[in-house]
Amino acid sequence: MQIRYYNKLWKQRNARGRKGEAALGDKWIDLSGKTVIVTGGSMGIGEAITADLRGCGARVAIFDMAPPKYEIKDTDTMFIKLDIRNKGDVEDAVRQVRERFGCIDALVNNAGVTRPRILVDYYKQRPQYELSEEDFDFMVGVNQKGTFTVTQAVTRVMFEKKDGVIIINDQRIDPITVVTGAAQYPENIIETLKKEHNVVAVDAMAEAKKLGNAKIFNTIIIGVAAKRMDFDKKQWLEVIENTVPPKTIELNKAAFEAGYALV
């Protein structure tokens, strides 16, 4: 959802000046005092995300292998050169961000790579385009291991925030270990978490079914989260209107409102 929204904003930047349209760098939401890490923020979509976050007042830390293609002119933007696949470097970078900005409020896992390949060169005309083991390891390494590495390091820090809230969609999905009998499903997990953390538990699936579409439970959760964030409700509804396919706008707005009213 977020990437599509930025793609849309990126296109709108070229139409800057047209009435009523947001443009990258415009302050469409107030993020003053927030710190956001953007992986792959040196170019492309990550560069646009960084510009937009800075325009909205956030402090931004860019984690990228390559230096930014633009000059960093202010002290609220920092660049750390690293490969997101390297756990030690990522943990060290997260430490640096905390030292400089004091906190981490959000992470945008944007860095990603692709090598378009074919599985089998049946006619043996372009062997160089067959997916090699090295191609596969490279893509899975950056896109999956890299995303996991940064998310784990940042989540550790977020758990320490005393004003943080854990939002749980209380829906039982048995993992394979439980299905095969190798492990037991943990009982009373919400009560256990509540002993140490601020927990908001909702049954978003039940609410989604009331709206007649089980798939809409994610938007209900966004409504629940929105209630705990200091952004204007109107802005959330505007983002929904600008982001989802037109025929689902009303359903998404109803789901957001349902989540917002739940807590």
Ligand X SMILES: NC(=O)c1ccc[n+]([C@@H]2O[C@H](COP(=O)([O-])OP(=O)(O)OC[C@H]3O[C@@H](n4cnc5c(N)ncnc54)[C@H](O)[C@@H]3O)[C@@H](O)[C@H]2O)c1
Nearer of residues 142 and 254 to ligand X, judged by Cβ: 142
52-71 residues in contact with ligand X (CB under 6 A) are 64-66
CA distance 186 to 149: 26
Q: Contact between 3 and ligand X (CB under 6 A)?
A: yes
User: How many chain residues are in contact with ligand X, going by CB under 6 A?
Assistant: 21
CA distance 251 to 214: 11
Applying CB under 6 A, the span of 50-58, 107-115, 220-228, 242-250 interacting with ligand X comes to: 107-115
216-235 residues in contact with ligand X (CB under 6 A) are none
Q: Of residues 35, 50, 77, 110, which one binds ligand X by CB under 6 A?
A: 110
28-47 residues in contact with ligand X (CB under 6 A) are 39-40, 42-46
Q: Quote the least distance from Cβ 134 to ligand X, whole Å.
A: 15
Q: Quote the least distance from Cβ 84 to ligand X, whole Å.
A: 4
117-176 residues in contact with ligand X (CB under 6 A) are 142, 146
Nearer of residues 8 and 161 to ligand X, judged by Cβ: 8
Q: Of residues 22, 23, 61, 84, which one binds ligand X by CB under 6 A?
A: 84
Q: Of residues 113, 183, 214, 261, which one binds ligand X by CB under 6 A?
A: 113
Can you give the binding site for ligand X, defined by CB under 6 A? 3, 39-40, 42-46, 64-66, 83-85, 110-114, 142, 146
